[in-house]
Amino acid sequence: MNRTDFLRTLAGSSLAVGALADFAFAETSSGILLETAPFKQAPLPYDFAALEPSIDKLTMEIHYGKHHAAYVKNLNDAVKGTEYEKKTLEEIVKTAGKAPAAIRNNGGGHWNHTFFWEVMGAGKGGVPKGAVADAINAQFGSFDKFKEAFGKAATTRFGSGWAWLTAKDGKLAISSTANQDNPIMDIAEVKGTPILGLDVWEHAYYLHYQNKRADYIAAFWNVVNWDKVAENLKKA
C-alpha cells in the first residue's frame, strides 16, 4: 500500500487523525520500507553538516542527494510495468535473489541507505548501554572486541559493500555483504535482522578520507546512534 492508498483507507475514519500522527507514513523510514512504487527517500533525520568532523557535509550532500537519490530513481525505472511495481521495498529486498539485477541492486541500495542514515546522529557515539551492551558483551566478550571484529569485517570487504551487525534467534553476528546486498536478502550468506550497518563504498568516505578506509571506520563510532540500534534490537 502506498501513501495515497493509505490516506484513502483512513479517510472518514475516526482513527484517521491518530493513525496519521502515530504512523507518519511517508515521513519515516519504516513507512518508506512499506510503500510500493513510486519509491521515495525519507527525509534525512539531521542536517548535512551534523555529523562533522567524522563525516563531512559535502560527502553527506553527495551521498544522500546524488547516490541514494539515484538508487531510488533507478529502482522506480526498473520496476515500472513489472510485478515488482506492486511490491513493497521490503518485499523486493527479501526476495532479491529472484529479481533482475537492476531491481536487486537499486532496491538494496535504497533499503541500505534508508537504514544507514538512521543509525547515525549528531552528538551520538560513545558506548552502548542496556540491552545492546549486554548482547554485545555476551556475544563478543567486550565492546572493544566487538569494535575490532566489526572493523575487520568492514576493512576486509573487498571492493564495495557493507558491514553489518545482525540479530537472529537471540544472538548477534557480524558479517559483510558485497555491493548493495544485505542480510535480509534470500541470497545472504549470513541472514539476520540488521541492527547496525556501515557503508564502505568509496563514495561514503573518499572525499574526506581518500583511501584510508580504516580511518573512516574509526570515525564512524563517533556518530553511531545507539538509541536507534537498541530500537532495532528490540524489534529483531
Contact 225, 118 (CB under 8 A): yes
Any known ligand binding at 208?
A: no
Any known ligand binding at 110?
A: no
Q: What value, to the nearest 5°, has the Cα angle with vertex 183 and ends 60 and 158?
A: 65
Contact 48, 60 (CB under 8 A): yes
Any known ligand binding at 68?
A: no
Torsions phi, psi for 99 (to 5 deg): -90, 155
Contact 101, 92 (CB under 8 A): no
Any known ligand binding at 113?
A: yes
C-alpha cell at 196: 547496525
Helix spans in the chain (H): 3-10, 16-23, 29-33, 57-62, 69-79, 89-94, 101-118, 130-140, 143-156, 206-209, 213-220, 226-235
Q: Which residue, 8, 124, 115, is CA-closest to 55?
A: 124
* Binding-site entries: 63, 113, 199, 203
* Binding-site entries for Mn(2+): 63, 113, 199, 203
